[in-house]
Structure 1
Amino acid sequence: MDGFRIPLGSWVANGVDWITANLGGFLDAVAFVVTFLVDGLTSLLLLPYFFVVIAVAALIAWVVRSWQLAIGTVVSFALIVAMGLWVPAMQTLALVLVAAVVAVVIAVPLGIWSARNSTVRAVLKPVLDFMQTMPAFVYLIPAIVFFSIGVVPGLVATVIFALPPGVRLTELGIRGVDSETVEAGQAFGAKPGQILRGIQLPLAMPTILAGINQVIMLALSMAVIAGMAGADGLGKMVVEAISTVNIAKGVEAGLGVVLIAVFLDRVTAALGTLGRNPSSLVGLLRRRRAQRQTEAVAAASVPRATTETTVVEKELQNA
């Protein structure tokens, strides 16, 4: 048994070599699309003056969460500008947003499919366990072989690492919907697609949004690892600081990652309770609309009551 060894690593390496040799056109197309999306979003974020982006981010924070978060967003982004990290911060934000969107587009349908099919669930469970437990650095090896150095291998590794929570929480949300509610929809003759769109997805939306929040946080946690693959941004600055033992540069880049993470976490977490927070702009507008409706009902009821009283008085006088 001492000489027996399963060459699993060699088999995987041969598979990677085969993919590289036979699917080069597909890999080039993926690299082109990813580069176009990330570079395009980065250019869009850097196109206006920085205070325009800060104002938009603060408005988003106020709309979905509160005016306190809006002020905190302005302070956080202003600190990023003051540290001279605006360009790498926007590069990191673009990478995280594109990776999160790709992961969500893949994760949500897989989660729905897994929740509605026990065979798919049985197949996906060990795959997701493998994806979550595999060290993130390992994903960089085949990604770099497939796509060379740059933003593409970093984004591919980020998507693979951030995907499992989105699938699991989407499945959990769909399966957690009350069975009696689903049976009531079936009793009224609703088709499976109608039940999914009209009952299961709305009721499971808070759990699905929690999964999207986790996807974004895990994508941002991969910023440093993506920097090791050559992706521009704060992660690359952290890697450079580690290689040169530059404490100041490392602390500033790490703080920039933290500030972006706090903003994204608070905004995405608030989407599940949109409109319920009285400090948010949506909550304020809803309260004002409810107040106007109450005042309108009260104003409409006063003349009616006065008219009824006048009729009664006339009848008493005639009597």
Structure 2
Amino acid sequence: MTWLDRFPALGTEQLSALRRFIDGAFRAFTREHGQAMEQLFEPLRQFLLASERLLTQTPWPVVVGVIAVVAWVASRNWKIVLGAILSLLVIGWLGMWDDTMKTISMIFVSTVVALVVGLPIGILMSRWDRMQRIVNPALDVMQTMPSFVYLIPVVMLLGIGRVPGLIAVVIYAVAPVIRFTNLGIRLVDKDLLEAADAFGSSAWQKMRQVQLPLALPTIMAGINQTIMLALSMVVIASMIGVQGLGQPVLKAISNQYFTMGILNGMAIVAIAIIFDRVSQAYGKRLQKHLEVVHG
């Protein structure tokens, strides 16, 4: 007899009753607190709408110019800048400009929210091992859970729209920021921390002036992965009302529009490559700079 044999298995009726109880309790919670939850996330909705209006209503030469300047400042690589400009021009020529700008605004806002949530958690994990033991299992579940599952509780709480999709994207993509922030801070050379202690630095001063600057290349790698995960969630989030390139792809799947699906899918790939190359190049520049300063 194994230890499992000591516990009676749940019958079909018992299991069904348990599921009905949990579902009923969740529905009751959403009915009672759904409106309050919507009001809680109203500033997030306004932030997303403002970002979307800024990108869609600004003349396209200005948007292309700003993205080119950001790419140059981050990468100092003309090939990356030229690739970003050409990709955006082709996207606009093919009539996908508005959807692309909506997707970029969603990725921008979700990345900002992921940083606001993930950086403090990663810092706390690096300072307290108990915090790390608590958060790591949750991150494991978040990274292995099928992405469609995130949509169920979010839609039940907030309905269909931009904000539920944004929250689902953030939940799906926030884990790398947390993990890489924790890892980057823990990898800081102990000798540098001892030197900071010798100069009488407080814990906050060590974190702000030593640990976070030295961990920046690793944190940038986490931001890169967060952006990639957010982009991969765009098509799935379009199922609950997130506007952008995901909706034409979903329409193409439903109606078997091969060309529409390929073109919008390639636009998502182009955005992913731009974000990936720029963030990676910036991380490498930070790494080289730190090697020169501390080398």
Structure 1 length normalisation: TM-score? Answer: 0.82
1:267 to 278, 282, 290: 278
Q: Is the contact made by 1:31 and 1:147 (CA closer than 8 Å) also made in structure 2?
A: no
1:27 to 18, 29, 37: 37
Q: Greater CA deviation, 235-244 or 49-58?
A: 49-58
The reply on whether 1:137 has 2:148 as its aligned counterpart is yes
- In the alignment, the residues of structure 2 paired with residue 12 and residue 211 of structure 1 have an alpha-carbon distance, to the nearest angstrom, of 35
1:133-212 superposed matches below 5 A: 133-212=144-223
- In the alignment, the residues of structure 2 paired with residue 9 and residue 64 of structure 1 have an alpha-carbon distance, to the nearest angstrom, of 51
Report the AA paired with residue 32 of structure 2.
Answer: N
Q: Alpha-carbon deviation of 1:12? A: 4.5
- In the alignment, the residues of structure 2 paired with residue 26 and residue 266 of structure 1 have an alpha-carbon distance, to the nearest angstrom, of 41
Report the AA paired with residue 120 of structure 1.
Answer: M
Q: Alpha-carbon deviation of 1:181? A: 1.5
- In the alignment, the residues of structure 2 paired with residue 200 and residue 11 of structure 1 have an alpha-carbon distance, to the nearest angstrom, of 48
Q: Alpha-carbon deviation of 1:42? A: 1.0
1:1-319 superposed matches below 5 A: 1=9, 3=11, 6=15, 9-10=19-20, 12-65=22-75, 66-274=77-285
- In the alignment, the residues of structure 2 paired with residue 75 and residue 116 of structure 1 have an alpha-carbon distance, to the nearest angstrom, of 45
- In the alignment, the residues of structure 2 paired with residue 57 and residue 32 of structure 1 have an alpha-carbon distance, to the nearest angstrom, of 28
Cα distance per residue 1:132-165 (max 9 Å; x no partner): 1110100101111111111111111100000111
Q: Is the contact made by 2:253 and 2:261 (CA closer than 8 Å) also made in structure 1?
A: yes
Q: Is the contact made by 2:217 and 2:286 (CA closer than 8 Å) also made in structure 1?
A: no
- In the alignment, the residues of structure 2 paired with residue 9 and residue 267 of structure 1 have an alpha-carbon distance, to the nearest angstrom, of 47
Q: Is the contact made by 2:216 and 2:286 (CA closer than 8 Å) also made in structure 1?
A: no
Alignment gaps of 5+ in structure 2: 1-8, 289-295
- In the alignment, the residues of structure 2 paired with residue 264 and residue 236 of structure 1 have an alpha-carbon distance, to the nearest angstrom, of 21
Larger Rg: 1
Alignment gaps of 5+ in structure 1: 278-319
Q: What is the aligned-residue RMSD (CA, Å)?
A: 1.9
Q: Alpha-carbon deviation of 1:25? A: 3.9
Q: Greater CA deviation, 93-102 or 62-71?
A: 62-71
Q: Alpha-carbon deviation of 1:2? A: 6.5
**Structure 2 counterpart SS, 1:23:** helix
Cα distance per residue 1:163-198 (max 9 Å; x no partner): 111101100001111112212211222111111111
- Taking a change above 3 Å as real, the CA distance of residues 87 and 22 of structure 1, as seen in their structure-2 partners, is same
Q: Alpha-carbon deviation of 1:64? A: 1.7
Equivalent pairs: percent with the same residue? 40
- In the alignment, the residues of structure 1 paired with residue 123 and residue 147 of structure 2 have an alpha-carbon distance, to the nearest angstrom, of 26
- Taking a change above 3 Å as real, the CA distance of residues 206 and 15 of structure 1, as seen in their structure-2 partners, is farther
- Taking a change above 3 Å as real, the CA distance of residues 276 and 169 of structure 1, as seen in their structure-2 partners, is closer
Q: Is the contact made by 2:125 and 2:182 (CA closer than 8 Å) also made in structure 1?
A: yes
Structure 2 length normalisation: TM-score? Answer: 0.88
Q: Alpha-carbon deviation of 1:18? A: 3.9
- In the alignment, the residues of structure 2 paired with residue 129 and residue 168 of structure 1 have an alpha-carbon distance, to the nearest angstrom, of 10
Report the AA paired with residue 39 of structure 2.
Answer: A
Q: Is the contact made by 2:217 and 2:287 (CA closer than 8 Å) also made in structure 1?
A: no
Q: Alpha-carbon deviation of 1:9? A: 4.5
**Structure 1 counterpart SS, 2:174:** helix
Cα distance per residue 1:12-59 (max 9 Å; x no partner): 534532431332343112442232122211110122221211111112
Q: Greater CA deviation, 238-247 or 13-22?
A: 13-22
Report the AA paired with residue 112 of structure 2.
Answer: V
**Number of residue pairs matched by the alignment:** 277
